[in-house]
Structure 1
Amino acid sequence: MQALTPSQDAGIFLGEVSKTFGNGSQNVLALHKATLEVRRGRFASLVGPSGCGKSTLLYILGGFESASSGVVQALGKPVTGPGIDRGVVFQEYALFPWLTVAQNIAYGIKSKGASRDEVSDTIQRYLKLMHLEGFGARYPRELSGGMRQRVALARTFAYQPDILLLDEPFGALDSQTRELMQDELLRMWQSSGMTVLMVTHDLHEAAYLSDDIYVMSKRPGQIVAHYASTIDHTLEREQIMLSPEFTELHNRVWLSVREQVKASLSASGAQA
């Protein structure tokens, strides 16, 4: 029963979580007894082959999907649906198109009952933090992809959730914008104390940002490896990228993911 018992400082906990989609002969087992724990204040990434259930696991934590079996907890409480304790940032720039940038940023904090002055101060602070000064009155359709994703991050950070869930948040961005967004995310997380779990296919991204990296198997997804980082994330990007700690972590994760991808391709070939 150890897998079903989180530690006292667990921010995110999944104990032997399984998820089945469909009915009868059309059943698809997406997750099979997946177990992981992210301690409070840590930044963790989830990597693995395409279709292994990474996003499904994240949606279960977000409360958008329910687990078929197992234990799902956020800050020691069972996850029964979406909640303001968990902020989610999707790849698809999930902004309200009828609201301006400022109104999007204000949406979450208004729902928590913040005063008019608090709302105004928060909007201005995050416009500055995300380098969006002068764009508060613009609508999402008037922004570039990188700017829209900065608004999405600002809106989520503004209402200060305890847990941040990220589903390939920078996957659609060009490489230069992606690096800038990674730096912004790292800086904001370091000053927030949030617990973060990010799904990504980019192993450089995972190694650069994470305290912990979890590797998932081919479907049905299980957690098959955990790598704890020794990187000093207060260093500049260039220092991190050129450090032996970064190279070692990236290569160990790459080998682990490569093994799972080969297993996935072998299974697909056997079924063909």
Structure 2
Amino acid sequence: MNEPEAVQSLAALAQNMRLRVFRSLVVAGPEGQTPGLLSEQLQVPAATLSFHLKELAHARLISQERDGRNLIYRANFDRMNALLGYLTEHCCQGESCSASPLNRESLPSTPTENRVSNSPLNVLFLCTHNSARSILAEAILNSIGKGQFKAFSAGSSPRENQKPNPLALTVLQQAGISTEGLHSKSWDDFAQPGAPAMDLIITVCDNAAGEVCPVWPGHPATAHWGYPDPSEVQGTDAERLEAFRVTLHAIKRRLDLLVSLPHERLESMALETTARTLARQA
């Protein structure tokens, strides 16, 4: 690779969404992905995605192939490795060093990779009021996380003196899940200096997913797992309680899949794709 080609490649990657598209294709490997799947995983409109794919293809960072009625996009690993080689050529004055792209085992591990092996992954669940769905998700993951996950929850617009919905606490207790320490709080609490750094942020209601989020320290992976709001169900006390129980089981099914995944699916580059894939399951 020469200098103009390196500049072209780096320029194509110097945009948030294009970088996320490219990384998703890297994670997908040789099988590649369809535009529809990419659009769903990255939560980006098809027209916007098409523009970014064209820019990446023009820089020869990705390839396109038709498979029947589908288009398949793949990362151009030769081009990626050529860029890495150009950037690290003659590194350390030609001496052998840990920065070589061929010696990835000696590179410093990412924060998420360190956390996978040494401490839990921090997961923040968000909804509007932090009283029902996000509270359920926090409690469930802390219960089944097997020490690999530490769950938190917050709301985009919690009411003054907001507290967890009593029906949410009831179904958790009936399921044998601890409710100790559960309380409603604003998502701003997790954007402050000194707040625990999140590895994954999951919105569990459509309102929170559509709002402008704070700037999260560490640029965590994000995903949206939408669930109907059980607190909006009308009916008898038993019917309302059943709505919360149904929501609890729906959330738990997806979290059961998350905690059962192998470590490599939870590493930093794969975590966002993994979480967004789970949004289509269970």
TM-score range, shorter chain: under 0.3
TM-score, scaled to structure 1 = 0.25
Which protein has greater RCO, CA pairs closer than 8 Å, 6+ apart?
Answer: 1
TM-score, scaled to structure 2 = 0.24
- Structure number with the higher strand fraction is 1
Bigger radius of gyration: 2
